[in-house]
Structure 1
Amino acid sequence: MIESVSETVQRQSIEAFQSVIRKSENALKNMVGKEANTSLIEKRLHALNVSLYILEYTWNERADQHYSSLEISEARHVMNNLLPSLKRMMEKSVAGTPQYTLLERRIRAFQLAVQAMEQK
C-alpha cells in the first residue's frame, strides 16, 4: 500500500507532475518543429501522465482506472529510471533555493507514484 501522506504532500505531488508534464509538452512541441527524434520524450510524457493518473486514482479512490497493467509497469520503469538523474541534479543545487525545493517535491512525487504503481 502507498504510504499515507498529508493533503499538502498530495497537492504538491500533483502540482509537481502537472508542472513537469507542461514542460515536457512544451519540449515536445519544440522538438516536433525541429524534426527531432521525439520517441524518448513521448515515452516519458506518457509515463508522467500515467503516474499522475495513478496518484489521483489512489488518493481520490476513483473507480475508473483506464491504464493497462503493461502501461503501468512501463511507466513505473521509466519513473524509476528518471529518479537518479533528479537526485544528481538535487546534489548540485543549493538547499533552500526554489530549484532545490522543486526537485525535492518532484522526487517525492515520483517516489509516491512508483509506490502506487507497484500496488496495481
Structure 2
Amino acid sequence: MVNVSNAVKLESIKSFQSTIGKLEKALTQMTEKGANTTLVEKRHKACCIGLAVLENVWDQKLHPYTREELAEARKVLIGLMPSIESAYAKLKEGSPQRTLLERRIKALELAGEALEDFYERNSTKGVE
C-alpha cells in the first residue's frame, strides 16, 4: 500500500466512522419500520471491515475477520463506488457535500487497496 499522509489517514478513518454511524441509524429506522435490511447490513459489515483493515495497516490493530469476510467486504466496497462517484459528479465544486464524498471515495479506495494487498501477501504464503 502506498504511503499516505497522517491527514489522509485521519480523514479516511473519520469517513468510515461517519458512514458506519449513518448505516447504523438507517438499520435502526428500517428495523422499526419492518423493512428488509439485508443490503444495509452487508454495507455496514463491509464498512466495519474496511475500517478495521485500514487500522490494521496503519496502526497494527488486529481484526477478527476471516479471509472470506474480507473478500466479501472488498466486493461490497467496490460496488459502492459507482453510485458515490455519480453523486459526486452532480455536486457543486467546493461544496461541503462534495468534500465529504471526496474523502469517502479516497477511504474506499484505500480500503480496497489494503484488502488487495492482503490477498497478494497471503496468496504467496498459501493461506486459505
- TM superposition score normalised by structure 2: 0.90
Q: CA deviation at 1:68?
A: 0.5
Which of 94, 110, 113 is matched with 1:112 structurally? 110
Give the aligned partner of residue 43 of structure 2. 44
Which of 66, 69, 74 is matched with 1:68 structurally? 66
Instruction: Tell me which amino acid in the other structure corresponds to 1:23.
Output: K
Give the aligned partner of residue 7 of structure 2. 8
Report the Cα distance in structure 1 between the residues aligned to 2:74 and 2:48, rounded to whole angstroms: 11
**Map 1:92-107 → 2, pairs under 5 A:** 92-107=90-105
Instruction: Tell me which amino acid in the other structure corresponds to 2:103.
Output: R
Instruction: Tell me which amino acid in the other structure corresponds to 2:101.
Output: L
Structure 2 unpaired stretches of 5+ = 119-128
Give the aligned partner of residue 90 of structure 1. 88
CA RMSD of aligned residues (A): 0.7
Instruction: Tell me which amino acid in the other structure corresponds to 1:19.
Output: S
Q: CA deviation at 1:61?
A: 2.1
Task: Count how many residue pairs are aligned between Structure 1 and Structure 2.
Answer: 118
Instruction: Tell me which amino acid in the other structure corresponds to 1:56.
Output: E
Q: CA deviation at 1:75?
A: 0.2
Give the aligned partner of residue 124 of structure 2. none
Q: Which has the higher contact order (CA 8 A, sep 6+)?
A: 1
Post-superposition CA distance 1:82-118 (Å, at most 9, x none):
0111100000001100000000000000000000011
Structure 1 unpaired stretches of 5+ = none
Report the Cα distance in structure 2 between the residues aligned to 1:113 and 1:18, rounded to whole angstroms: 13
Instruction: Tell me which amino acid in the other structure corresponds to 2:26.
Output: A
Identity of aligned residues (%): 44
Give the aligned partner of residue 56 of structure 1. 55
Post-superposition CA distance 1:5-60 (Å, at most 9, x none):
00000000000000010000000000000000001100110000000000000001
- TM superposition score normalised by structure 1: 0.96
Larger Rg: 2
Q: Could you say what secondary structure the match of 1:66 adopts? A: coil
